[in-house]
A = this chain, B = another copy of it.
Amino acid sequence: MLSDTSLHHLDISHIRSSCASCSLRELCLPVGLNEQEVQVLGDVVSSKRKVQRGGYLHRTGTKFQSLFAIRSGFLKTCVLEQDGRQQVTGFHMTGELLGLDAISTDIHTCDAIALEDSEVCEIPFAKLEEISRTIPSLMRHFHKIMSREIVRDHGVMLLLGSMKAEERLASFLLNLSRRFLMRGYSESEFNLRMTREEIGSYLGLKLETVSRAFSKLQDENIITVDNKHIQINDLARLKIKMGNSSCVT
């Protein structure tokens, strides 16, 4: 650690370096930036926000100002129709960027709700666009992130359009597994943050069907389910279950 005294002078690096010192640097926006560029980005990413479990990060119809990078926690996004129908469009974990949908109209088109206490970095979008003009690699990476979201959505469309219940669940679990692995957690054992109903909404199934699919996979000894605790006993067979489709991010 640095000496305390140095912080009492003009050293504001502990503020400016919000991105530079972030453990998620390699997952989040700063990918591919050099030290100085990360500093510039860190200046833009001024404030952090906490969202309690069950709380809204943003709501459909509200004005768009900022993107949000997830620093800790777990959120879902969902779209809803007039008739009350609702669908979870994604589950989001650390390092991922929320709010991309709102760029098109400057209005949020979905709700973002925390599934556990979460913390996000607020990234004023106008400023991000501004600095990305002078930092090509930032612009490049931002475009990749948006494009990745499109690819992800196409994967979900494939899932919703052509897979059976069990395949969908297998695909879902493998997706989670991969993302936990990327973040340094176990790929074979984790806790779900969402309910069966939320999983069902995401996968286009009813909660009972999700529950049955869990039970079926457990009966086959492919996974072990204890409420929200999931253990994958046989990754290979799980992959076979889902038809070995293109992996969704």
Binding site for B on A (CB under 8 A): 79, 81-83, 85, 87, 89, 100-105, 109-110, 129, 132-134, 136, 139-140, 143-151, 153-158, 160-162, 201-204, 243-246
Across the A-B interface, give the 4 residue pairs with the lowest CB-CB distance, nearest first.
A161-B204, A103-B147, A153-B153, A160-B160
Copies of this protein in the assembly total: 2
- Determine whether the beta carbon of B136 is less than 8 Å from that of A245: no
User: Considering the chains assembled together, what is the distance between the CA atoms of A110 and B151 in angstroms?
Assistant: 9
Residues of B contacting A203 with CB < 8 Å? 161
Q: Is the CB of A244 within 8 A of B100?
A: no
Residues of chain B within 8 A (CB-CB) of A83 are: 243-245
Q: Chain A contact residues: over half helix, strand or loop, or mixed? A: helix
In-complex Cβ contact of A140 among B82, B101, B129, B146 (8 A): B129
List chain B residues, Cβ under 8 A from A79.
154-155, 157-158, 246
Q: Give A243 Cβ to nearest chain B Cβ, in Å.
A: 5
With A81-B245, A83-B244 in contact, do A157 and B153 touch (Cβ < 8 Å)?
yes
